[in-house]
Structure 1
Amino acid sequence: MPKLGQNQYGKAETRVVRMVRDGAVHHIKDLNVSVALSGEMSDVHLSGSNANVLPTDTTKNTVYAFAKEHGIESAEQFGIHLARHFVTSQEPIHSARIRIEEYAWERIGTTGGAQHSFVRKGQEVRTAQIAYDGERWEVLAGLKDLTVMNSTDSEFWGYVKDKYTTLKEARDRVLATEVHARWRYGWSDDARPMPDWDHDWAEARGHLLSAFAETYSLSLQQTLYQMGARVIERRPEVDEIRLSLPNKHHFPVDLAPFGLKNDNEVYFAADRPYGLIEATVLRDGAEATIPTD
């Protein structure tokens, strides 16, 4: 006899751009918001009754209305406003999950002093996920597509070799990766002060970059752990961080057929296949909850 399992529904990837005009100085918040709602939804699946269903079009409209009514202070704060609204305003909805990507813009300097021209930043995408069940919060912050490289201070040798191994040991190699990180804040209930979302995100990002730059790497796994550990050690509001680091391989090109010596100067940047290193770093006593997806 089949039965209905875990289910959710909502509107995915609602793009909302909030413009704040402070006189001649303008500010942009550019978000991609996905809403997922869960609760008493058995009837709509089993009999087609929509009596408990808030239309996904309504969730889209709510995103736009809240951008006006509440503004967008930060991705996390905006997600908290939305999640609380859906759970507390609709009795059949027991939990809400809000996923947000934020696209950053920076000002274009002009000789005339205008502050309304921007260029889209290409460094990374800020991410946030907010889950609320009416009592407890889970807030994940993070980033993706942050491409970094160390042109030296990286080795890879002493690994297992079998009859299929052709990779040569490297005592000086390029280490490049595209950082995908998510971290979970210890804040989980309204009785405690919220973190300073923008400040704490910037601090965590800075620690990730500093650890990447300052670690003499014998493996990408070692670098990953140092990056996660730096955040846990220096940001007390973070209990857990999950990192996914693809190895953006740079292979030295064989220039011998042309009578040339390649002294770690010319590389082939391979886009696939690539090694993928993933791990979670936890504060002592914390449990891992960040999903691997």
Structure 2
Amino acid sequence: MFATPLRQPQASGSTDKLQNHQQDTPYQYEITDHGYGKDAVKVLHVSRKGPVHTIHEFEVGTHLKLYSKKDYYQGNNSDVVATDSQKNTVYLLAKKHGIESPEMFALLLAKHFLNKYSHVEEAHVHVEAYPWQRVCQEETKTMWNGKGACNGDPKLGNCNFSSIDDRQLHNHAFIFTPTAQHYSDVVMRRNDPKQTVISGIKGLRVLKTTQSSFVNFVNDEFRSLPDQYDRIFSTVVDCSWEYSDTESVNFSRAWQTVKNIILKNFAGDPNIGVSSPSVQHTLYLSEKEVLDVLPQVSVISMTMPNKHYFNFDTKHFQKIVPGDNNEVFIPVDKPHGTIYAQLARKDLKSKL
């Protein structure tokens, strides 16, 4: 569930506190990694400002790593902050401070655990945002008459809330729009001044019907795929990026910027489109533009599985449907190709 930090932390020197806890190791075997926490804590926060309400629904995971391992070796729980207490912390901090974005809430929780409990070495908080958007009423064709009905096309039966143009946002009604998921991981270590803040996009599924090709690849005795000069291109984008600067960034705006960059490089101009000679090239152009546009991002990683749509062969059915087929395709989810790359600023290579 938890993302792996893209920037691996530099090993911190042995601290007195760490040395004191080495005596917890009573056997010939050593615990080399450990931690515990509460996963899938669901919280909904409603901000009520007059008639206009704003909601954030998150699924939160909190994991702590203690200096001591005596709970493992000796069954001594005196340092354990119960996972139930971690769950309560999520709700209480949401009540006390409100919720702004996955990143800000994860930072708030991680800082709390390190500040509150001196025996906690590391806090890792994972937050996934549920994609709620305000219900929108189309103003140009239908008008709410205030009597429980709509004035407009009687065939609609009620107001048209599906339009994306010229919309009026509802004050307190929302619709679930799972186009893509916004998540964040924050890792804070007491002995590492550089906090790790990762944002991510998960499950962004896209498809275009032309301007995608794949030609001139290795031609040997194992190849059966012909050159693809014009094919359907469909993928499900998973993308994560790490910030080197968290003070000057608007996390929600940055997340939307990355999403828009991915869509732009995939789709291109609405009327003309954009040519894609490979999934690799489209992926690289997206990552490069993110680093160009967002100086606070130090490294970005992206995965694009190639969701295949194969042309249905109609050559044996010419009496039924004569001619070539370029309209009917067979969706094939498995197996699928997987393309991924991580792009980093050159001055960070030594730290990755």
TM bin (shorter chain)? over 0.9
Q: Pairwise mapping of residues 128-143 of structure 1 onto structure 2 (< 5 A)?
A: 128-134=184-190, 135-143=193-201
Aligned equivalent of 2:331:
269
The one-character-per-residue Cα deviations of 1:39-74 (angstroms, maximum 9, x if unpaired) are: 213101111111111001111110111111111111
Q: Which moved more, 1:205-214 or 1:87-96?
A: 205-214
Point out 4+ residue stretches in structure 1 off by more than 6 angstroms. none
SS in 1 for 2:185: strand
Q: CA deviation at 1:222?
A: 1.2
User: Is residue 148 of structure 1 aligned with residue 206 of structure 2?
Assistant: yes
Query: Hey, what's the Cα distance between the residues in 2 that align with 1:289 and 1:180?
Result: 23
Aligned equivalent of 2:253:
199
8 A Cα contact 2:314 2:325, kept in partner: no
Q: CA deviation at 1:194?
A: 3.9
Describe the shift of the 1:262–1:20 C-alpha distance in structure 2 as closer, same or farther (beyond 3 A): farther
Q: Pairwise mapping of residues 138-287 of structure 1 onto structure 2 (< 5 A)?
A: 138-187=196-245, 193-214=247-268, 215-259=274-318, 260-287=322-349
SS in 1 for 2:289: helix
- Among 135, 138, 150, the alignment partner of 1:108 is 135
Q: CA deviation at 1:37?
A: 0.9
8 A Cα contact 1:39 1:94, kept in partner: yes
* Alignment-mate amino acid for residue 92 of structure 2: A
8 A Cα contact 2:303 2:340, kept in partner: yes
8 A Cα contact 1:75 1:128, kept in partner: yes
The one-character-per-residue Cα deviations of 1:102-142 (angstroms, maximum 9, x if unpaired) are: 11112223535852221101201101011111332111111
8 A Cα contact 1:98 1:131, kept in partner: yes
- Among 152, 177, 182, the alignment partner of 1:126 is 182
Q: CA deviation at 1:289?
A: 7.4
Structure 1 residue ranges without an equivalent (≥5): none
* Alignment-mate amino acid for residue 130 of structure 1: V
Q: Which moved more, 1:257-266 or 1:124-133?
A: 257-266
Query: Hey, what's the Cα distance between the residues in 1 that align with 2:52 and 2:350?
Result: 43
Q: Pairwise mapping of residues 77-92 of structure 1 onto structure 2 (< 5 A)?
A: 77-92=104-119
Structure 2 residue ranges without an equivalent (≥5): 1-27, 138-143, 147-167, 269-273
Superposed CA RMSD in Å reads 1.8
Describe the shift of the 1:143–1:59 C-alpha distance in structure 2 as closer, same or farther (beyond 3 A): same
Q: Pairwise mapping of residues 27-38 of structure 1 onto structure 2 (< 5 A)?
A: 27-38=54-65
Highest Rg: 1 or 2? Answer: 2
Q: Which moved more, 1:280-289 or 1:101-110?
A: 280-289
Query: Hey, what's the Cα distance between the residues in 2 that align with 1:122 and 1:245?
Result: 18
Query: Hey, what's the Cα distance between the residues in 1 that align with 2:342 and 2:113?
Result: 31
Query: Hey, what's the Cα distance between the residues in 1 that align with 2:180 and 2:32?
Result: 36
SS in 2 for 1:61: helix
Query: Hey, what's the Cα distance between the residues in 1 that align with 2:200 and 2:351?
Result: 15
Tell me the percent identity: 31
The one-character-per-residue Cα deviations of 1:75-114 (angstroms, maximum 9, x if unpaired) are: 1000000000001110110111111111111222353585
- Among 14, 27, 30, the alignment partner of 2:41 is 14
Describe the shift of the 1:289–1:23 C-alpha distance in structure 2 as closer, same or farther (beyond 3 A): farther
Query: Hey, what's the Cα distance between the residues in 1 that align with 2:134 and 2:324?
Result: 41
SS in 1 for 2:79: coil
Query: Hey, what's the Cα distance between the residues in 2 that align with 1:237 and 1:74?
Result: 17
* Alignment-mate amino acid for residue 121 of structure 2: H
8 A Cα contact 1:74 1:198, kept in partner: yes
Query: Hey, what's the Cα distance between the residues in 1 that align with 2:227 and 2:312?
Result: 15
Query: Hey, what's the Cα distance between the residues in 1 that align with 2:351 and 2:250?
Result: 22
The one-character-per-residue Cα deviations of 1:229-270 (angstroms, maximum 9, x if unpaired) are: 110111111111000111111111112222133443221111
Query: Hey, what's the Cα distance between the residues in 2 that align with 1:149 and 1:236?
Result: 29
The aligned length equals 286
SS in 2 for 1:168: coil
